Amino acid sequence: MRRRCAQGDFVTQLFSGRFNYNFSPNVTWSNLVQYDIESRILGFQTRFRWTLRPGNDLFVVVSRGWYRRFDGDYLPSFDKGSAKLQYTIRL
């Protein structure tokens, strides 16, 4: 991908892959893996979604990242996690 910025043009490549699995219509598991050759960061995100009832969902998301050193080793870069409960009140 060619990008334009104030310092000039540059080219970067981003590789990504997805894996999604539906256990049932109400329970899903989604995964994304990406690697950027410019920043040398490998990232992984997994998301679990459970629909309790229509409009009521539980989400759990975990993200991890690794920085690739010039010698080829990967160092942990970041770890993040979050959970969200979405609840709809109908009157």
What pLDDT, in 10s, does the model give residues 29-82? 999 999 988 888 999 999 999 999 988 999 999 999 999 999 989 999 999 999
C-alpha to C-alpha distance for 77 and 41, rounded to whole angstroms: 8
Confidence (pTM): 0.74
- DSSP label of 88: -
Confidence of residue 25 (pLDDT cuts 50, 70, 90): very high
Specify the pLDDT at position 60: 98
Residues sharing a CB contact under 8 Å with residue 66, sequence separation 6 or more, in sequence order: 41, 42, 43, 74, 75, 76, 77
CA 65, CA 76: separation in Å to the nearest integer? 6
In one-letter notation, the amino acid at residue 3 is R
